[in-house]
Every structure is written in C-alpha cells, then in structure tokens.
Amino acid sequence: MISFILMVNKQGQTRCSKYYQWLPMEERVALESEIIRKCLSRSELQCSFLEYRGYKTIYRRYASLFFIIGTKPDIDAAQVGGENKENELGLLEFIHNLVETMDKWAGSICELDIMYQLEEVHFILDEMVMNGYIVETCKGATLKAIDLLERESRKGEAMFK
C-alpha cells in the first residue's frame, strides 16, 4: 500500500504531504527531511527507487519539485508476513499520471500552482488514491469529479452576487 505521497522541492521545503498511515508530527518532519536528502544525493543516472527505513520509495523529479511515494506491505498481508508487492515502475508511472492530471487541470502545472491552491491538489489526490490504494487513473474521471466540485462552489457564490 502507499504509505505517503510527498511533493518536496530542492531546498527541502514540503509543498504537499499526504499520509495514508498515521505518523506523529515529529516523525513526519524527520522522514521528510531525510528522504529528500537521500533523493538529492542520488544522481540522474541512478534508478528512481530507494529503500528507506522499511519503506520502498519511488521518486521522480520535475524541474525543482520531487514527487515521492513511500510504500509498505499491505496491512492485511502484513499480518500473515507478506512482503511489499508494490510494482515500483508502475508507481513511477503513476506519479507521471498524477502530474499529467494536474497539468490538465491547471493548464500547465507549476510549483506555484500547488502552493496557491493546496486544498485543490489534495482534492485531486483524494480522487485518485484512497486508503493507500490507487482507485482512479483515468484523467477524465478524476477531473470530472473536480469540475463538479468547482462548479458547485461557484454556484454557491454566484447566486447572491
């Protein structure tokens, strides 16, 4: 299962973080800073996967922003000693799918867009990943739901102009 999804920039500032397994604040901060340090220390020529404290991690860099997904064995499987079966290449491409989706939504996504509309980015993620599982990869379906949300909110404001 996906344990966390992070968007961290080169300087180590977190732009968006989503956790599917609860971690207290101090652990999150430590995790985020250490992982970005590890990602930064790797060269372009090395593979996009790394292992960190029991998390199988996949990362991908877009300009100055790193997208990082950390995975752990599925909760149910872990009870019977199962291993982490996540397909790293599949998740790497999922990151790309996510970026393409955000790109379509924002009309060319950039780091600032994520900063200025943080809650919307979370809403998009909520459509695509639930409880650490990938539930939607079809861009159209995701954006349809977001569009519905935005239209509804504009209606509420416009009615009383």
Nearer to another protein, 42 or 61 (CB): 42
Residue 150: CB minimum distance to another protein, A: 8
**114 in Cβ contact with 9 (< 8 Å):** no
Please, what is the minimum distance in Å from the beta carbon of residue 67 to another protein? 15
Task: Choose between 46 and 63: whose C-beta lies nearer to another protein.
Answer: 46
CB-CB contact of 17 with 4 (8 Å): yes
Would you mind telling me the total number of residues written for the chain in this entry? Answer: 161
Write down the least CB distance from residue 79 to another protein, Å: 7
**Least distance from another protein to the Cβ atom of residue 4, Å:** 12
Least distance between another protein and beta carbon 19 (Å)? 8
- The amino acid that residue 50 corresponds to is L
Q: Is 59 helix (H, G, I), strand (E, B) or coil?
A: strand
DSSP state of 68: E
Q: What is the 3-state secondary structure (H, E, C) of 71-83?
A: ECCCHHHHHCCCC
Q: How far apart are CA 46 and CA 60, in angstroms?
A: 12
Tokens of 15: 């732009």
* 103 vs 113 by CB, closer to another protein: 113
